[in-house]
Structure 1
Amino acid sequence: MGDLQATVEFYVELYKFYNVDLFQRGFYQVRCSLRVAPRLPVQVETCIPDPQQYPLQPSNQQQSQQTQHHQQSQQQQQQNQQQSEQQQQQQHQGNFVPSSACIVGGCGASRVFQILYRNEEVNLRDVILFRAHLLGKCELFMGY
């Protein structure tokens, strides 16, 4: 048997932040990343999905839109790369405060939010998409 390439998508929704023990007022941001074992041949792609694409569609609709989704994901990847470059330029200038989820150094980051009080709740509702492109022997995926 030959090699098989598989793509696994993980949607992470940062829905709500509940301040338990941050005693210092200030601006905060939640960051997350997908880590994989270094011995695995995996390429991880991080992006912010278009709000119209989530929540995930039922599987019968997904099958009919796979080619459209692939084209959109390529366009979205180019847009995310351009946005990332713009954000890096603004960060170097020192005047960048994201108002929505963004990609920072390969990590998904929530919008910046302010914490004023202990036990405070902040609604984030930010979604981050991780795509893991795996390459492995067919036997591993098929269960032979």
Structure 2
Amino acid sequence: MSEVQGTVEFSVELHKFHNVDLFQRGFYQVRVFLKISPRIPHRLIATIPAGTEESSPTSPCIHDNVVFSRVFQILYRNEEIVVNDQMNFRIHLLLDGEKLEEALSEVDFQLKLDLHFTDNEHQLDDIATVPMISSRTLGLHFHPRRGLHHHVPVMFDYFHLSVISVTIHASLVALHQPLLSFARAGKGSWLGKGSGENGNDQVSVSLETLVFGAGYCKPNVTEGSFYVPSENCLQRAYSWHRRLCRLLLAAHRGLRAYFSGLMTEIPELSQVELDDLPIEETLTQLSIELQVRTDEAHSCQLYLRMDWLASQLFS
């Protein structure tokens, strides 16, 4: 099985926090974390926009890929606080190269939101120690072609009755040869006993294996010789290239369709003209360019071979 590195990016924004009926006045904070099943080798990187991460303990920050919102004070019932904290989660996944779309559709993405509270202002100097009082987890139904676009109110439990409005966008942004070393989960990780970040099985996939198939074995070549892959290997490579390009183009079209629909529904937004990218026409063009590059590579190899022979004959 050949494996491909896929990258999905989530953009999350916390809009407004509404105190319905919190029992205690004090300082509150929402912490956000994106969870992925440890059975899928992955790397997660959380970031916040440049300029928002400040030295103040009450400002947005990141600890171990968990995003801490700014700290806000609640004093009254039915009080509404504008949070407007933005964050990005970039996830690199190791996927089955033969079933990319199915593999991406089946990834269990979950967004965890924890509500933390303290009534001691001095405890804010060590923000990581502020205790959690409630938690909610959202299941994110991501599809690689359509992406994901949701705006939802998240209500915490009855004893901490409050709501935070959350906007979530996600899109597939890259498919390519694995460029990172992924740690695979060990046995029992589905029971919570292991982690995709702690496994010891590192994967390294050569470009030839990825393109020509898991059964491909490049023969040894002697000095001055060269190797041209068989027609079956080339046809598999063309098919693999076409599948990846089609899925990326479909993800681009899905994102474009959502953005265009948003501009239509909200005319107050700045109207931006987006270039259409027809999938079939673009695929055909990409396939032609790949074929041309392949032919050029073969011609170059033949030229080098002839040049080597000439050097042997006339040396």
User: Is the TM value for this pair above 0.5?
Assistant: yes
TM-aligned CA deviation for residue 104 of structure 1:
2.5
TM-aligned CA deviation for residue 49 of structure 1:
2.4
Cα separation, partners in 2 of 1:115 and 1:142, compared to 1, 3 Å = closer
Task: Decide which of 89, 101, 112 is 2:71's aligned counterpart.
Answer: 112
Counterpart of 1:98 in structure 2 is 58
1:1-144, aligned counterparts within 5 Å? 2-50=2-50, 97-99=57-59, 101-142=60-101
Identity of aligned residues (%): 51
TM-aligned CA deviation for residue 140 of structure 1:
2.5
Contact 2:29 2:69 in 1 (8 A): yes
The amino acid that maps onto 1:120 is E
TM-aligned CA deviation for residue 42 of structure 1:
1.2
Contact 2:46 2:89 in 1 (8 A): yes
The amino acid that maps onto 2:47 is C
RMSD: 2.2
The amino acid that maps onto 2:23 is F
Contact 2:44 2:65 in 1 (8 A): no
Name structure 2 gaps, 5 residues minimum.
103-242, 244-315
1:16-57 C-alpha deviation (Å, 9 max, x unpaired): 101123121111111110001111111111110237xxxxxx
Counterpart CA distance in 2 for 1:97 and 1:138 is: 44
Of structures 1 and 2, the larger Rg is shown by: 2
Name structure 1 gaps, 5 residues minimum.
52-79, 88-95
Counterpart CA distance in 2 for 1:49 and 1:137 is: 32
- TM-score, normalised to structure 1, is 0.63
1:61-96 C-alpha deviation (Å, 9 max, x unpaired): xxxxxxxxxxxxxxxxxxx8xx7xxx6xxxxxxxx5
TM-aligned CA deviation for residue 2 of structure 1:
2.2
1:105-144 C-alpha deviation (Å, 9 max, x unpaired): 3211110110001111000110011111001111221459
Counterpart CA distance in 2 for 1:31 and 1:11 is: 15
105-114 vs 117-126, which moves further: 105-114
Q: Which has the higher contact order (CA 8 A, sep 6+)?
A: 1
- TM-score, normalised to structure 2, is 0.30
**Secondary structure of residue in 1 paired with 2:20:** coil
The amino acid that maps onto 1:9 is E
